[in-house]
Structure 1
Amino acid sequence: MAEVVLVHSFRGGTGKSNTTANLATTIARTGKRVAVIDTDIQSPGIHVLFGMEQVDSQTTLNQYLWGNCSVEEVAHDVSPDEVKQNGGKVFLLPSSSDAGDITRILHEGYDVRLLKKGFASLIKTLTLDYVFVDSHPGLNEETLLCIAVANTLIVILRPDRQDFQGTAVMVDLAQKLKVPRILMVVNRVMQNSDPEMVRQQLEAKYEVPVVGVLPNCDEMMQLASSDLFSLRYPDHSLTQIYHQVADKVMTT
C-alpha cells in the first residue's frame, strides 16, 4: 500500500514546496514510484521546480476536480534523469496557474471528496509507492480531508513565533484526527544556530519528532525555485539533510 505524505504549514513562505519536491525526488532516486500532487490550488507553483514553466490548463488537477477528465490524465511524468537511472519515477499533478481557473475555484469551489477518490485511483493505476501532497497553507476543508487520509504528516515551520503558535494548532488537530505519524521539519534556520538545540527545544514543545533542521543558505536563495536543489547541489550539506529526512519518511 502506498504511503500518503501530506506536507503542510500553517503559514506561507516556509519553503514547503521546495521541501516537498526535494524529498519526493530523493525518495524516487531510491527506485520508488512517487507522485506529487499540488493541492495548493489558490497559489500553485511546485510545477516550476520540475521544469514546467507553462502548464496546459486542460491537464491540471482543476480539470479532474471539475469532472472533466480522470485523475490519471493529469499525471505528468517529470522524472529527472537521476531518478530514471535508478529505476524510479516522479509524476506531477499540477494545479492550473491560469487566473480564470483560480478565480473559478475560489468562486465555485469543488467537491473535496474527489481528492480522496483520486488518491486511491492514482495509487492503483500508476502502482505508486508514495504520494506527496503539497497543500495550501493554513486550515480549510481540503486540508482537513488531506490530513484525514494521510499516513504521514510533515509540518514545515520557520523559527518564528507566529509559526510556533500556528504549528501548535496543526499538531493538535492532526492528533485529534489520529494521523498515524506526525513529523516536523524546521526550515530557514540561521547558520549560527545550533541545530541540535533547535531540535530539542521544538521536540520538547510539541512532543513530535523533528526530523530535519534546514539551514538558510545562499545557494537556495540564488536558485530561486528554478531547479531541484538536491540535484543541482548533490554534495551540499542541505542535500544531505534532505536525504536524512527522506530516510525517516521511508522508515515505517
Structure 2
Amino acid sequence: MAKVVSIHSYRGGTGKSNTTANLAATVARHGYRVAIVDTDIQSPGIHVLFGFDGEDIERSLNDYLWGRRPIREVAYDVTSALLERGTPNSKIFLVPSSVKAGEIARVLREGYDVGLLNDGFQELVEDLELDYLFIDTHPGLNEETLLSITISDVLVLILRPDQQDYQGTAVTVDVARKLEVPKLLLVINKAPTVFNFDQLREKVQDTYDAQVAGVLPHSDEMMVLASSGVFAIKYPDNSLTQTIEAIAQQIMR
C-alpha cells in the first residue's frame, strides 16, 4: 500500500508548496514511485516548480473533478525534474490544478464532490503503482483538508516562527489528534538565521507536544531560485537540502 503524506499549513505563505515539491522529489530520488496532487484548487502553484506555466496545463485535477477525464490522464510524468539524481526506479508524477480563472471561479461558486477526490487518490495509487502519494493541501481547515488529514499516514504541518502561525497550528494539531493521524511531523520554515534553532525546536515541541522534523532557515538561495526549480535537486550539497533530506528520512520510516 502507498503511504499518503499530506503537507498542510494553517495559513498561506508558509512555503508549503515548495516544501511539498522538495520532500516529494527527495523521496523519489531514493528509488520510489511518487505522485503529488495539488488540491489547493483555489490558488494552485506547485506546477511552477516543475517547469509548467499556466498555458502548459492542458489537463488538470479540475478535469477529473468535473468528470471530463479519469485521474490517471491528468497526471504528468515530471521525473525529468530529478535531473538524473534518482535511481532507475525513481518516478515522480504531478496532478496540477487549473490556473484558468473560469475553472477557479467554478470551484469557488459550486464547490466539488470531496468524496470523488478520495476515490481519485485511490485510483491514482493503483494506476501509477505508487509508493508515496503527497497531497499539497489548501491552507486552513475545510472539507478537503479534513479529508486529506483523515486519510494520511503522515501529516506534515508547516509553520513559521510567528505568533499567528503558532495559534493556527495549535488548532490543526488538535484536529489531527482527534482524527488519529498515525504520524504527525512539524516543520518550521523560513526561520531567521539569527535564531538559535535548537531553542526554537525545543519551544515548538514543548508547545504542541509533537515532533519537530526539521527547522528550515530563511534562504537567500531559495529566494533567488524563485520557484524556477526544485531546490533540493538543483543544490544537492546545500545545508538546506541536507535538512530536507533529514525530514524525508522521517517520512520514509
TM over 0.5: yes
For the 8 Å contact 1:31–1:83, the answer to whether it is kept is no
Distance 1:170 1:86 in 2: 38
For the 8 Å contact 1:3–1:129, the answer to whether it is kept is yes
AA in 2 matched with 1:72: R
Which position in structure 2 is the counterpart of 1:126?
128
Mapping for residues 96-107 of structure 1, pairs under 5 Å: 96-107=98-109
Does 2:84 correspond to 1:76?
no
Q: 1:197 to 1:84 in 2, by over 3 A?
A: closer
What is the total number of aligned residue pairs between the two structures?
Answer: 251
Give the stretch that moved more between structures: 125-134 or 193-202: 193-202
AA in 2 matched with 1:37: V
Residue aligned with 1:82, SS? coil
**1:86 CA drift (Å):** 4.0
Which position in structure 2 is the counterpart of 1:13?
13
TM-score by length of 1: 0.97
Q: 1:100 to 1:118 in 2, by over 3 A?
A: same
**1:83 CA drift (Å):** 4.9
**1:119 CA drift (Å):** 0.9
Aligned residue among 172, 176, 179 for 2:178: 176
Query: Which runs of no fewer than 5 residues in structure 1 stay unpaired?
Result: none
Aligned residue among 189, 192, 197 for 2:191: 189
Which position in structure 2 is the counterpart of 1:242?
244
Which position in structure 2 is the counterpart of 1:144?
146
**1:87 CA drift (Å):** 2.1
Residues 187-243 of structure 1, C-alpha deviations (whole Å, 9 max, x = no match)? 000112111111111111101100010000110111111111111211110000000
Residue aligned with 1:214, SS? strand
Aligned residue among 223, 226, 229 for 1:227: 229
Residue aligned with 2:215, SS? strand
AA in 1 matched with 2:249: D
**1:82 CA drift (Å):** 2.3
For the 8 Å contact 1:220–1:229, the answer to whether it is kept is yes
For the 8 Å contact 1:39–1:135, the answer to whether it is kept is yes
For the 8 Å contact 1:28–1:83, the answer to whether it is kept is no
Q: CA RMSD in A?
A: 1.1
**1:54 CA drift (Å):** 3.3
Distance 1:56 1:29 in 2: 25
For the 8 Å contact 1:7–1:133, the answer to whether it is kept is yes
TM-score by length of 2: 0.97
Residue aligned with 1:35, SS? strand
Which position in structure 1 is the counterpart of 2:2?
2
For the 8 Å contact 1:25–1:83, the answer to whether it is kept is no
Mapping for residues 35-50 of structure 1, pairs under 5 Å: 35-50=35-50
Q: 1:56 to 1:220 in 2, by over 3 A?
A: closer
